[in-house]
Amino acid sequence: MKIAFISDIHGNAVALEAVIEDVKQKNIDKVCVLGDICFRGPEPKRSLDLIRSLQTDVIKGNADEWVVRGVQKGEVPDKVLSMMNKERDWTVSQLEKTDLDYLKGLPKELHFEIDGVGIHAFHATPNNLFDVVLPNTDDSGIMERLMSNANAQIYIYAHIHKPYIRFINGQVVMNIGSVGLPFDGLTKSSYGLVQINDGGFSVSIERVDFTIQKVIDQYQEGNYPNANMMINVVKEARL
């Protein structure tokens, strides 16, 4: 059984299409989506439509919450609050009410078991859509904040846009990075792959090329607020 975990598309449908094609070529059995579908990219509607067309498990990320109700004071630095709400308003203008209702109703975590291998997946932490757990967090911090479900062997999250895999006490924690806005300096989409066979498993991070110039052109042609900054993020793969 091959399961792909994708997240943080952020309205980059060009990158999402490339990842979906990669998933098809690898004959992956199931895709799980860990949130942040629309916000901060040039194609929020098409990104959401592509995700919904997968007819699979989808959970909510912090950016999905922002699309639904706006960015609130204290959730981002004060100096960027106004601009991020302009970006949010632009995103909402591209969507329909049914899209907003869909985002509002998404669950916040996934639990499932395959061949005796338990998986717990969430966007940022099991209890918070906004918390940040970085790759250099020590083992005790990782265990306390991410691995509270003792029944799982694999813990999977997203949110920080920096993929990594750690092995702690015989369990795995994996950050799957970002499809649409990688922050690790590698200008390729990132997603996680879990392969389970007869109770054994392997995990990996997959990287996929996408047409960066096309996304840049879309930001410019769509009159996206804050386009210059977002273009630099896409070009440099850094925030």
Tell me: the pLDDT tens digits for 8-17?
999 999 999 9
Residue 151: per-residue pLDDT: 87
Task: Read off the pLDDT of residues 111-163 as tens digits, 9 standing for 90 and up.
Answer: 999 999 999 999 999 999 999 999 999 999 999 999 987 789 999 999 999 99
Nearest CA to 131 out of 162, 160, 110 is that of 160
181, pLDDT greater than 80 = yes
Confidence of residue 237 (pLDDT cuts 50, 70, 90): very high
Task: Read off the pLDDT of residues 50-84 as tens digits, 9 standing for 90 and up.
Answer: 999 999 999 999 999 999 999 999 999 999 999 99
Count of beta carbons in the 10 Å neighbourhood of residue 218: 21
Strand order in the sheet with 30-33: 57-58, 30-33, 2-6, 189-197, 200-208
Residue 150: per-residue pLDDT: 75
What does 32-77 look like in DSSP terms, one character per residue? EE-S--STTSS-HHHHHHHHHHT-SEE---HHHHHHHH-PPTTSS-
Nearest CA to 57 out of 29, 88, 19 is that of 29
Task: Read off the pLDDT of residues 9-42 as tens digits, 9 standing for 90 and up.
Answer: 999 999 999 999 999 999 999 999 999 999 999 9
Residue 126: per-residue pLDDT: 96
Cβ neighbours of residue 65 closer than 8 Å, sequence gap 6 or more: 103, 129
Contact 160, 129 (CB under 8 A): no
**Residue 95, phi then psi, degrees to nearest 5:** -110, 170
Per the listing, tokens 């203008």 go with 93
229: helix, strand or coil: helix
199, pLDDT greater than 90 = no
Contact 11, 40 (CB under 8 A): yes
pTM: 0.97
